[in-house]
Amino acid sequence: MDGILLIDKPENITSNRLVQKIRKHLKKITGRDIKIGHTGTLDFFASGLMIITVGKGTKITEYLQGLDKEYIATGELGKITDTYDRQGKVIQEKPCNITQQELEKIVLSFRKTYMQTPPPYSAKRIKGTRAYKLAKKGLEVPLKPKKVTIYQIQLLDFSPPEFTIRVFCSSGTYIRSIIKEIGDLAGCGAYTKKLRRTKIGSFSVDRATGLEEFLMMTESETESILISVKDALYFMPEIVLDEGFDRRFTMGQRFKVPFQEKGTVKVLDRKLNLLGIGKVKEEGVLQPVKVFAN
């Protein structure tokens, strides 16, 4: 059982708890301890797509973490919470008088690349400690801004004081920060009331299985929704090796290949079975990075 699972996380459960439930269920239906992981958490109050890596799929976690994301989020104008979301304590309230046209102009101004400061209640590490743990103690959280890109952003609905946006962005973008920043520009602040992740790369939540439904699945049903490691790496260029070179790759040897572009590639044998991941270096030398073949 190797590959990835697309799971639709419900609201009001931690990502860690979701992973524990999946691990326990896989052991129950297979009788084996199967290694699993995930490619990025969602907040406790948020819902939507999580990619769960299974078996050999855990070897590609780092490559999936950097994929772009899409979210639909609802914010409430006129209030700011210490966590920037509905779980926090309201620390500021202001009346908000803004038209839909004015709000839409503000929302569209976020279609850019800029330095975004993460929320103080985040999983970012500061000298080894999670930022939210420092924030809970009332300590200052000196988080460094990070470059993020908002490729597309759209105002879907405005029903004062609430507004809903769709955001297509680079990995590492904090939607809670965007909602607050929109509120700041509106002159009254805002916090995130609802958040749903709808896409990771080309994987859509429409293809995902709900957690409760997954926990009722048999082993064969689970295998039927498992996406292979090869297909999960759809975004990575591929090299097909001739016989003999495939064995050299799986043995960890380096050799020249007729491939023009430098960078990370998925490596296949002549039958198009995935052998692993390699890196094409100077002068077309292929170096094995991760080997999946038995």
Half-sphere exposure of 53 (CA within 13 A, CB side): 20
- Token pair 């769960």 is at which residue? 52
Among 52, 135, 42, residue whose Cα is nearest residue 88:
135
Single out the catalytic residue among 2, 8, 43, 82: 43
- Token pair 């709900």 is at which residue? 210
Grouping H, G, I as helix, E, B as strand and the rest as coil, residue 16 is helix
Pairing mode, if any, of strands 190-200 and 69-77?
antiparallel
CB 138 within 8 A of CB 131: no
Alpha helices in the chain (DSSP H): 15-30, 61-65, 100-108, 131-136, 175-186, 211-214, 219-225, 229-232, 245-250
Which is it for the CA torsion 208, 219, 42, 113, positive or negative? negative
157 flagged as catalytic: no
Number of Cβ within a 10 Å radius of residue 212: 10
How far apart, in whole angstroms, are the C-alpha atoms of residue 50 and residue 67? 12
Task: At 168, give phi and psi (nearest 5°).
Answer: -110, 115
How far apart, in whole angstroms, are the C-alpha atoms of residue 163 and residue 89? 20
* Residues tagged active-site: 43
